[in-house]
């Protein structure tokens, strides 16, 4: 069975699993090579600096790399020290870059759901917008799904939200936890009362439908 981790900050524990490593422009620990392994790359709201124009130029260059299969994580975060209007501008530019590149957008959102929905309504994107690490309740999940978002879940999640996203708007991830994506799959399958085989087959189909990568090539880029 194939296991897909669509948002991770650590390499896969099992080398057979397919992992999309997140790279943050402006975070020296993560902004390194964009070649050799599937990755997403973006300007996180925690790492927006005064030289944001320079950050965006580096992002535009990185997105051209064949190993980059998504833009982000881009985001809106009301707990960040960066003013929300600046965050919104940087987010909109990254969303536009995702449109131009034809690559999905990975989203970080904290307490800014109304603003995020307004951005989507304004932009009317064609590429998928995926909210990573979603821990909101079922009501919020339904609102977001109605607007066309995808939801990605890590090891802790709201069961009603998970059920709302199942089957075709759901992904799995480890985020910044040094855990095995297979354990996340097992928790999701148990919560949905389905077999692990059914979950893996469905998530593989979702990955094939959304991400521009060869799902049979593991983490190697050809």
CA distances from 49 to 78, 80, 219 (A): 16, 12, 31
- CA contacts within 13 A on the Cβ side of 131: 28
pLDDT for position 32? 60
* Lookup: tokens for 169: 């708007």
pLDDT at residue 134, rounded to an integer: 98
Alpha helices, H only, 4-158 = 52-63, 84-101, 113-123, 138-146
Q: DSSP 3-state assignment of 68?
A: strand
Whether the model clears a pTM of 0.75, i.e. scores above it, the answer is: yes
φ, ψ at 112 (rounded to 5°): -135, 40
Phi, psi of 6 (to 5 degrees): -85, -5
Q: Which residues of the chain have pLDDT under 50?
A: 214-222
Which residues share a beta bridge with 105? 71, 129
Cβ-contact 151, 144 below 8 angstroms: yes
């Amino acid at each position: 069975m194939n296991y897909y981790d669509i948002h991770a900050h650590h390499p896969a524990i099992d080398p057979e699993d397919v992992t999309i490593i997140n790279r943050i422009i402006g975070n020296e620990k993560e902004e390194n090579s964009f070649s050799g392994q599937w990755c997403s790359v973006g300007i996180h709201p925690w790492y927006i600096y005064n030289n944001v124009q320079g950050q965006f130029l580096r992002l535009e260059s990185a997105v051209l790399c064949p190993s980059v299969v998504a833009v982000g994580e881009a985001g809106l975060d009301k707990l960040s020290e960066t003013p929300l209007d600046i965050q919104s501008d940087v987010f909109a530019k990254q969303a536009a870059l995702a449109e131009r590149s034809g690559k999905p957008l990975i989203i970080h959102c904290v307490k800014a759901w109304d603003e995020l929905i307004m951005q989507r309504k304004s932009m009317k994107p064609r590429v998928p917008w995926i909210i990573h690490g979603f821990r909101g309740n079922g009501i919020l999940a339904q609102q977001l799904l109605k607007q066309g978002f995808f939801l990605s879940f890590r090891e802790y999640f709201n069961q009603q939200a998970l059920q709302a996203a199942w089957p075709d708007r759901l992904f799995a991830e480890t985020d910044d936890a040094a855990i095995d994506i297979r354990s996340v799959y097992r928790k999701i399958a148990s919560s949905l009362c389905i077999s692990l085989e059914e979950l893996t087959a469905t998530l593989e189909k979702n990955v094939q439908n959304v991400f521009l990568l060869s799902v049979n090539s593991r983490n190697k880029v050809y």
